[in-house]
């Protein structure tokens, strides 16, 4: 049996050349009317506006999270600093009490104070160097090609 010729008309007089895989049985679909430019521009502006609002909301949420973290960090840091301070006082009193029978209370106090001042001086020196690193990182002119107003007061 031979296949029918696609160019021959159907027996009922209806042609099937307008059939597009069953999606448009009556021929080609009509094209949609063109969208006005004002609507397209309005949609773009609305999308940009929604994106900007979403970005601002994200920035605000990140700021709130950072503030929350910073406040709890400060709180726990304060507790840790107080605990270290009390421990240093206990260590200093213990050192004075341990040295007092050997060198006397006055000399024991002077020895402990001198050692604590040396430790504080070393810690202050290290803090100053770290602060210098922060200033370098935040300086406006990293290449030192111009006059940096931040470096003038250092």
DSSP character at residue 23? S
pLDDT at 112 > cutoff 70: yes
DSSP string, 85-103: HHHHHHHHHHHHHHHHHHH
How many beta carbons lie within 10 A of that of residue 112, not counting itself?
19
Half-sphere CA count of 3, side-chain side, radius 13 A: 3
- Residue-level pLDDT at 136: 74
Q: Per-residue pLDDT averaged across 134-147, rounded?
A: 68
The predicted model scores a pTM of 0.46
pLDDT tens profile 20-30: 555 555 666 66
CB 135 within 8 A of CB 150: yes
Q: Per-residue pLDDT averaged across 107-132, rounded?
A: 90
| Residue whose structure tokens are 């006059």 | 147
pLDDT at 17 > cutoff 60: no
The SS3 call for residue 78 is helix
**Tokens read off for 90:** 């206990």
Reported as a pLDDT band with limits 50, 70 and 90, residue 11 is: low
pLDDT tens profile 38-65: 888 888 888 998 999 999 999 999 989 9
More confident residue, 131 or 22: 131
- For residues 91 and 115, give the distance between their C-alpha atoms in angstroms, rounded to a whole number: 12
- Residue-level pLDDT at 131: 83
């Amino acid at each position: 049996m031979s296949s029918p010729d696609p160019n021959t008309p159907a027996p009922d007089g209806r042609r099937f050349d307008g059939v597009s895989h069953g999606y448009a049985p009556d021929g080609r679909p009509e094209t949609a009317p063109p969208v006005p430019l004002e609507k397209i521009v309005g949609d773009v502006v609305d999308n940009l506006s929604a994106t900007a609002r979403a970005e601002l909301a994200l920035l605000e949420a990140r700021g709130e999270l950072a503030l929350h973290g910073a406040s709890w960090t400060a709180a726990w840091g304060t507790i840790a600093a107080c605990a270290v301070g009390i421990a240093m006082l206990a260590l200093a009193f213990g050192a004075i009490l341990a040295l007092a029978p050997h060198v006397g209370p006055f000399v024991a106090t002077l020895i402990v104070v001198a050692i604590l001042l040396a430790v504080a001086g070393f810690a202050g020196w290290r803090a100053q160097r770290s602060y210098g690193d922060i200033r370098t990182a935040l300086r406006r002119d990293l290449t030192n090609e111009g006059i940096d107003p931040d470096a003038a007061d250092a």
